[in-house]
Each structure stands twice: as structure tokens, then as C-alpha cells.
Amino acid sequence: MKNRLALILCISLLLFAVSGCGKRVEDKEQFSPDEKIVLKFSHVTAENTPKGLAAERFAELVKERTRGRVEVQVFPNSTLYKDGEEIEALKSGAVQMIAPATSKLSGVFPLWQVFDLPYAFADESKVHQAMDGYIGSRLFEGLRQNNLHALAFWDSGFKVMTNNQKPVVHPDDFAGLSFRVMINSQVLKKQFEKLGAKPVEGSFDDLYRALESRTIDGEENTISNICSKNLFKVQPYITVSNHGYMGYVVLTDEKYWNGLPEDIRGLLESTLAEVTEWERQQALRMNREGMQTITASGAVQLHYLTDDEKSEWIQVLKPLYQEFEYIIGPDLIESVEELKNNN
Ligand code: SIN
């Protein structure tokens, strides 16, 4: 009898532990009403970038609006996690927010390469239309299926080409040059191959060193990144090609998010929406001001592509749309084409 009672007790305790009673239930609210909530936000760019400033502004507003109950700790410059480590860190709960460039999501979510297609979007407003419409809904759905929750979509801007060898004006000028590409995007690799250059995948935190040591010749980036990382000091040739867009998805883990108290979730959402509007203005401003800094430095020979030169690039890069249709999907490619044709 005693043994049976002991056995029942053991089984009950085991079931209690396995069912998660006695500890926080993950899908329900994880926090007691007065408990302080610390949210780690890791990213790879400098503080003086649109993303860096927006993350800081978000942290300040959240602190003020929750009277210190929620603390967003921002870790810029890959100080916590670098390219290729961020998603895992988010999933494991080591951090609660990240904001990777969309290209870097492509390893896990290949559809995101739709944003890497060259000359896909005429300007930022087209990109935002894409995110707010069919393209965004398909992409966010994919994230949800993997327990990731997209909170916002931030701009970095349109990319230019930089290198240390010569002015790059026509597609032929790329021959023999090596270019760093962001990790995980096959479209970006192929883009450089089509242009006759050699793509070399690399993380953002290694980029300055790789360019300074001349391990690679060039790279593509937005002006705010080129300025904040001083890339222009080791890249004397810049072609203003605006050939591709770079943006960020502010991501959190779905379970973590659902475990936050509802009022806090609402406050974080509304604050992020406000910061997103602000961030997009910062991106425009910083790219504009960055260009002035670069011009004034006298360190760079700038070339702005003419319409005819741009047509040459478009011609060479156009086949990528068909070559990647089997990955990105005909529906998303069609949506991009529709956006191009609608004014
Ligand atoms: C970023 O803006 O987050 C990084 C861009 C890059 O890897 O070149």
C-alpha cells in the first residue's frame, strides 16, 4: 500500500513538472503585474545609423511610457551577436528583438530574396506598398509559421556600389573585381556573377577590415552604412546606381511576444509604429547627409549612373527574375512587376 502511494505521488509530481505547472507557462502571460521586463535588442550597425537611432529612440520612449517597467537594452555594432547568429539568439531567448537586413533572412526564408531583385522598386514608397500589400502578407506568414513575429519594417535605403580599383560605369567594368555580399542571399551572389564580378559572402562586422586590407575590392551598401563605418575612406570609387533596396525586419519570437502582458504588447506596438515612421525619415536624412559628407571629404570619385547606363545594368540583370522564379515564386515576382507598372 505504502509503495503504491509513493508511486502515485511520484507520477503526480512528474506530471506536474512535465505540464509546466509550478513554473511560468510560456504561451500565457509570463510576467507578474509589477515585474520588470528587460528586452534585449541586438543589431549589427553603428549607433549613428537609421536602425541604430531608431532602436535607441524606441528604448527611450518605452522606458518613459512604461515608467521604467520595461527596459529595452540596445546592443549595436554586433556586440552581442553578428550576422548569421541573430536568428538563433532570438529563438533561444538570448535576445528578444533583432532587426536584420531582409537579405540575411533568406537562408531560412528564401522568399525574402524578392527584395534583393535588382531594380525591383523605384523608390521607398513602392517598397512600403509591397510590404503593406500581398508581398508583405506572404513574407510575414512564412515568419509566423516559424514562430517569428514581424513587428516593423524599417528602411536603410537604396544601395550604391563601392570599390578600390576604378570607376564602375558599365557592366563590363566589373570584370575581375571581387565584391562582398551580405550572407544568405543567392540573388545577391548571382547579381555580381551576372555583372562579371566575383561575389564573396561576409559579415558586416568584418567588412571594414576586409576592404581596408584589400582582401576584397568592393561592396554594395547604403550611404548611411558607408558613412557610419567609414567605408568610403578605403573605397575611393562610388557608383550611385541605386540598383537594389536594403531594409530591415524588426523581429521577435512569437512565444515570447504572446507571453507579454497585453497592455505592454499594445504599448510596444504603438510605440514601434511611431518609431517606424521616424526611422524612415532618418534613413532619408542620413543617406542625404552622408552623401554630403562623402562629397566634402574629397576622398571619393563619385559617378551617378545616367539613364542609358542604368538601362545597360537592367539589361544584364533582368534574367535574375526568371532564374529565381522557382525560389521566390511567380506570384511575388508578378506583384513586383505590377508595382513597377502602377504609378
Ligand atoms: C545592416 O545594415 O544591417 C548591415 C548591412 C550589411 O551587412 O551590409
pLDDT digits 0-9 by tens, 229-279: 999 999 999 999 999 999 999 999 999 999 999 999 999 999 999 999 999
Q: How far is the centre of ligand 1, averaged over its atoms, from the C-alpha of 233 (Å)?
A: 18
Q: How far is the centre of ligand 1, averaged over its atoms, from the C-alpha of 75 (Å)?
A: 15
Lowest mean pLDDT among 27-31, 103-107, 211-215, 216-220: 27-31
Structural domains in the chain plus CATH codes: 37-341 (3.40.190.170)
> Model confidence over 27-80: pLDDT tens digits?
556 788 778 999 999 999 999 999 999 999 999 999 999 999 999 999 999 999
> Model confidence over 268-279: pLDDT tens digits?
999 999 999 999
Q: How far is the centre of ligand 1, averaged over its atoms, from the C-alpha of 122 (Å)?
A: 21
**Stretch 166-172: mean pLDDT:** 98
pLDDT-derived band at 22 (thresholds 50, 70, 90) equals: very low
Is the alpha carbon torsion for 184, 80, 159, 201 positive or negative? negative
Q: How far is the centre of ligand 1, averaged over its atoms, from the C-alpha of 44 (Å)?
A: 7
> Model confidence over 283-301: pLDDT tens digits?
999 999 999 999 999 999 9
> Model confidence over 81-112: pLDDT tens digits?
999 999 999 999 999 999 999 999 999 999 99
Please tell me what DSSP assigns to residue 97. Answer: E
Neighbours of 160 (CB within 10 A): 25
What pTM was computed for the model? Answer: 0.90
How buried is residue 202: exposed, middle or buried, by Cβ count under 10 Å (0-12/13-18/19+)?
buried
pLDDT, averaged across the chain: 92
Nearest residue to 245 (alpha-carbon basis) of 183, 159, 160: 159
φ/ψ (deg, to 5) at 95: -135, 165
The answer to whether 104 and 228 are in contact (CB under 8 A) is: no
Ligand 1 pocket (Cβ < 6 Å) reads 44-45, 101, 156, 182, 204, 221, 225
Which atom of ligand 1 sits closest to the CA of residue 99? 3
The answer to whether 74 and 95 are in contact (CB under 8 A) is: no
Nearest residue to 254 (alpha-carbon basis) of 148, 106, 338, 164: 148
pLDDT-derived band at 10 (thresholds 50, 70, 90) equals: very low
How buried is residue 195: exposed, middle or buried, by Cβ count under 10 Å (0-12/13-18/19+)?
buried
Nearest residue to 49 (alpha-carbon basis) of 287, 304, 297, 341: 287
Q: What is the dihedral of CA 156, 38, 260, 63, to 10 degrees?
A: -70
In this predicted structure, what is the pLDDT of residue 158? 98
248-260 burial code (b ≥16 CB/10 A, e <16): bbbbbbbebbbbb
